[in-house]
Structures are given as C-alpha cells and as structure tokens.
C-alpha cells in the first residue's frame, strides 16, 4: 500500500502525468493525420488561390530542347571525397526519358581528393561539368556562395540543388519533374531517407523528421502564403529558375547559416509556392559518419533554426523535458516507491511518446523500433540546442568543414 507521504507527493504528480498523457494522445492523433497530408514526390500538386499567375507557356518554350525541358542538377562540394562519386553515379543512373539533364558540380576549395573523384566520374558521363569556387566574399556563408556560383551556370528550367551525401533512386528525377510540372513554379523539397550507422546517428538524426511531423501542420506549407509555415532541406531542393530570381536567390540570403529555410521563406514572400514532399522512397542520405559530426552538424543549425530566440530555446527545452523525460523519471521513481497509479500514468506517457516517434520513423523509412529511443533522443536534442545557444553567446561560433561560422 502506498504510504501517506508518498500519496501526498503522488497526487499532484498523478494529475500532471494525466495532463501530459492526454496531451501526448492528442499529439499522436495529430501526427497520424499530419503525415497523411504530406504530398508524395511523383504525384501532381494543386495550385493554391494565393499563388501569383505567370505566363508559363513562354517560359517553358524558352528553355526546352525540342520537346524536352532541361533540368539542371547543382551540387556544391567541399571535402566530399567519400561521397561525391556515389552521388554523381546515382544521378547519372537516373531515368531521364522526359527531360534533358545537365549536372553541375562546384568544387568549393576542397582540401581532399574531391576533384579527383569528380573527374573520374566525368569520364563516364559527359553531362557532368566541373567548376571551381572563387574566393569566399566577406560575410558570405560557404554553401550559399557555392550555390550562388552554380546558379550562374545553370541553363535549365528547374534547378535541383543536391548535397553530395544524397543518393537518388533511378526514378527520382522523373518523379521530381512530375511534381514540378504540376506546381509550375516555386520550390519543392523533401527530407531523404536518413541512413544511420553509429549510436548518436540512430539517436539524433531521425529527430528532424520527428520535429516536422510532430509540430508543423504540413498541409499549410503548400496552402498558406505565410512564411511561418515552412520546412525544407538544402539536401534536396528543387526550384524554378524564375522563382530563384524573383526571390533573390542565395545572394539575398548570403549570410544565413540555415540558407535553405531562408531561401524558401524568400520564395513565399515573392508569392510563389513551396511544397514539402515525401521523398524517402526516391532518395537517401547519410549526413554524418560519427558522433562528433552529428553533434557539430546539428549544433551549427539548431539555434539558428529557432530564429536565435533564447525564449524559444528555453520553451522547447522545458516542453520536451516535460513530455518525454519527466514521465520516464517518474516511472522509475514510482516503481521504486511502489506507487502503481503513478506508474501507470507515467508508463502510458512514455509508451505513447515512443509509439508516436516510431510512427514518424517508419513513415520516414526508418525502423519503427527506433521509437524506443525517444527519451534519449529528446535529451540529446535538448543538450545540442543548449550547446548551440551557448556557442552563439560566447562568440566561439560553429566549426564545419574547416570553416568557422558565427
């Protein structure tokens, strides 16, 4: 039997855990519905009333070779010796029955054998062209400048920016063009199926998909003109050449660390649509190879992703701690102190959180059982967020691929 002291302590905590459990159930229902609203790459999308009208027939005619439009694939590459060849080979192997293709690669002052890997691949595909980056101007972010330089050489109607660690399936480009042609303008993006190997990859990398599926009304990205409804990734970002120009391109957001989100925001502000699509069946990526890369990669972007808002950092940390850490702590404590009612509520909260993450992981092409790591994943996310905030406060900035960012 629960003693009086434990009972007095348990009742307020039971009430809190009941509220948390009910909230988690609502989030589970929202997540299932939300994921069902995500457009799929290769399927047409419908035009929204708020989008600007343009004279598309003339634009299409101006950039076609015969009756096939030209697609430009643009790849910024800095120290990508281990990735670039497989990336290029996967693009070269894509079906291109309905389009012409050019593949432009920017060697951004690589300090390894990136250029040699590119040249070996060029020998087998004359559609690949290699460019060398010029000196990084003051204030520019490295990737933004590499993408900007690539844009100066692109000749296609649509431009597909691809990171060197991305791999395309054979139908990927055809699927992308189906969606792009139905949208006619604007920007299309999607998070590749994330391959993970080391322990921190398994714990942290799937959390990006979790954050989007759990919080962001996905359908509003496409339906609303408001830039607050946005989620894209620079790993796979397809943009109409005229939308790129109307938005100002990378030159407009040259000094932003999270350049992909800023570009998408500029596209919406220009009156053009943005679509976040389910692309995991068509693309994959392994962004990081060890724990240090995972930590530094997320640390570089996560505070900037909050808009550099300390209040939001604090709020997110408390929110995730209450939803995903407190129930586990209380479950352990209630089992030790023999409080079955408290244990039941805490266990329910822990289980619902794990199931929700498992559903998002499965939707993203990962194992459902990764959901069991939810409390650990939430704890790591909080720690990385706080570390990113502290790095910004103390002026040390972020180190990535031999460059330091503020």
* Residue range 49-100, pLDDT digits in tens: 888 888 765 444 444 456 789 999 999 999 999 999 999 999 999 999 999 9
Confidence at residue 382, expressed as pLDDT on a 0 to 100 scale: 97
Confidence at residue 304, expressed as pLDDT on a 0 to 100 scale: 84
Instruction: Return the closest-CA partner of residue 238 out of 186, 188, 178, 183.
Output: 188
Model confidence, pTM: 0.91
Q: Which residues of the chain have pLDDT under 50?
A: 1-2, 4, 58-64
Confidence at residue 170, expressed as pLDDT on a 0 to 100 scale: 98
CATH number given to 56-198+215-300:
3.90.550.10
Gap between the Cα atoms of 10 and 13, Å rounded: 5
Confidence at residue 48, expressed as pLDDT on a 0 to 100 scale: 84
Q: Identify whether the C-beta of residue 270 lies closer than 8 Å to the C-beta of residue 247.
A: yes
Torsion angles phi and psi, residue 199, rounded to 5: -60, -40
Q: CATH 3.90.550.10: which residues of the chain?
A: 56-198+215-300
Gap between the Cα atoms of 159 and 71, Å rounded: 6
């Amino acid at each position: 039997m629960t003693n009086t002291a434990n009972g007095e302590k348990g009742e307020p905590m039971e009430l809190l855990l009941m509220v948390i459990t009910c909230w988690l159930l609502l989030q589970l229902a929202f997540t299932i519905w939300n994921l069902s609203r995500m457009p799929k790459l290769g399927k047409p999308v419908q035009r929204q009333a708020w989008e600007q009208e343009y004279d598309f027939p003339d634009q299409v005619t101006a950039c076609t070779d015969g009756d096939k439009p030209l697609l430009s694939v643009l790849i910024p590459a800095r120290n990508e010796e281990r990735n670039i060849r497989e990336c290029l080979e996967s693009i070269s192997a894509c079906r291109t029955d309905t389009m012409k293709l050019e593949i432009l690669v920017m060697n951004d002052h690589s300090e390894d054998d990136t250029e040699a890997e590119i040249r070996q691949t060029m020998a087998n595909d004359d559609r690949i062209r290699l460019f060398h980056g010029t000196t990084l101007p003051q204030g520019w972010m490295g990737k933004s400048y590499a993408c900007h330089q690539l844009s100066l050489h692109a000749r296609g109607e649509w431009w597909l920016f691809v990171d060197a660690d991305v791999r395309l399936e054979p139908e990927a480009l055809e699927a992308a063009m189906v969606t792009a042609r139905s949208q006619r303008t604007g920007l299309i993006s999607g998070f590749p199926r994330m391959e993970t190997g080391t322990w921190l990859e398994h714990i942290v990398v799937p959390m990006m998909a979790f954050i989007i599926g759990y919080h962001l009304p996905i359908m509003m990205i496409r339906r609303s003109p408001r830039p607050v409804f946005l989620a894209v990734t620079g790993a796979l970002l397809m943009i109409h050449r005229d939308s790129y120009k109307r938005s100002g391109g990378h030159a407009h957001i040259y000094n932003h660390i999270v350049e992909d989100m800023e570009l998408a925001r500029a596209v919406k502000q220009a009156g053009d649509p943005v679509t976040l699509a389910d692309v995991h069946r068509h693309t994959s990526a392994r962004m990081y190879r060890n724990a240090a890369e995972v930590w530094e990669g997320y640390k570089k972007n996560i505070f900037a992703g909050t808009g550099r808002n300390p209040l939001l950092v604090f709020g997110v940390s408390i929110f995730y701690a209450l939803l995903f850490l407190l129930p586990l702590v209380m479950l352990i404590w209630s089992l030790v102190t023999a409080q079955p009612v408290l244990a039941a509520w805490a266990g329910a909260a822990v289980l619902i959180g794990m199931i929700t993450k498992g559903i998002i992981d499965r939707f993203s092409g990962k194992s459902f059982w990764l959901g069991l790591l939810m409390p650990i994943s939430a704890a790591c996310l909080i720690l990385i967020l706080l570390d990113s905030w502290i790095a910004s406060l103390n002026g040390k900035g972020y180190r990535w691929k031999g460059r330091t960012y503020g």
